[in-house]
């Protein structure tokens, strides 16, 4: 298990992605899976950076755990921002044209579709979001 605590700023997305990628490369993660994980990490961390502490700033902690036997990676995001469960959002109607769709929600939709499991809880003043993907 490895953890990174960093300011929740959009400009730190590459740092977070590189942190996760370093762990994935250590277990020979297939490139397609790594790309899917990178997109999900980018989306989740960007949402924390843009909305969790608005208008203030705060930290986020990213924990990467790899079960080598089951070949599963778990990435957990912790922040002390505004309580927000992204799993409560309705899925966007992707059958509508871009002009007809409501703004927002597409990123979480992509995370839901590309990860194998997603869990959210608000505990001890923290948002905790865990995404899991089979390697």
Domain around 33: 2-134
Q: How many domains does the chain have?
A: 1
CATH code at position 61: 3.30.565.10
Higher pLDDT, 21 or 103: 21
Q: What is the pLDDT of residues 1-52, one digit of tens each?
A: 999 999 999 999 999 999 999 999 999 999 999 999 999 999 999 999 999 9
- The Cα–Cα gap between 42 and 17 comes to 7
The pLDDT of 93-98, averaged and rounded, is 50
pTM for the model stands at: 0.89
CA dist 51 and 123 (Å) reads 18
Question: Could you tell me the pLDDT band of residue 89, with boundaries at 50, 70 and 90?
Answer: low
């Amino acid at each position: 298990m490895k953890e990174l605590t960093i300011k929740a700023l959009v400009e730190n997305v590459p740092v977070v992605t590189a942190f996760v990628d370093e762990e994935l490369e250590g277990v020979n993660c297939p490139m397609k899976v790594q790309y899917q994980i990178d997109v999900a990490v980018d989306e989740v961390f960007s949402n924390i950076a843009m909305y969790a502490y608005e208008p203030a700033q705060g930290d986020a902690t990213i924990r990467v755990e790899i079960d080598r036997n089951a070949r599963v990676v778990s990435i957990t995001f912790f922040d002390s921002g505004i309580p927000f469960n992204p799993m409560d959002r309705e899925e966007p109607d992707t059958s509508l044209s871009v002009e007809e769709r409501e703004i927002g929600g597409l990123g979480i939709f992509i995370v839901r579709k590309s990860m194998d499991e997603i869990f959210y809880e608000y505990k001890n003043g923290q948002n905790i979001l865990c995404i899991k993907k089979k390697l």
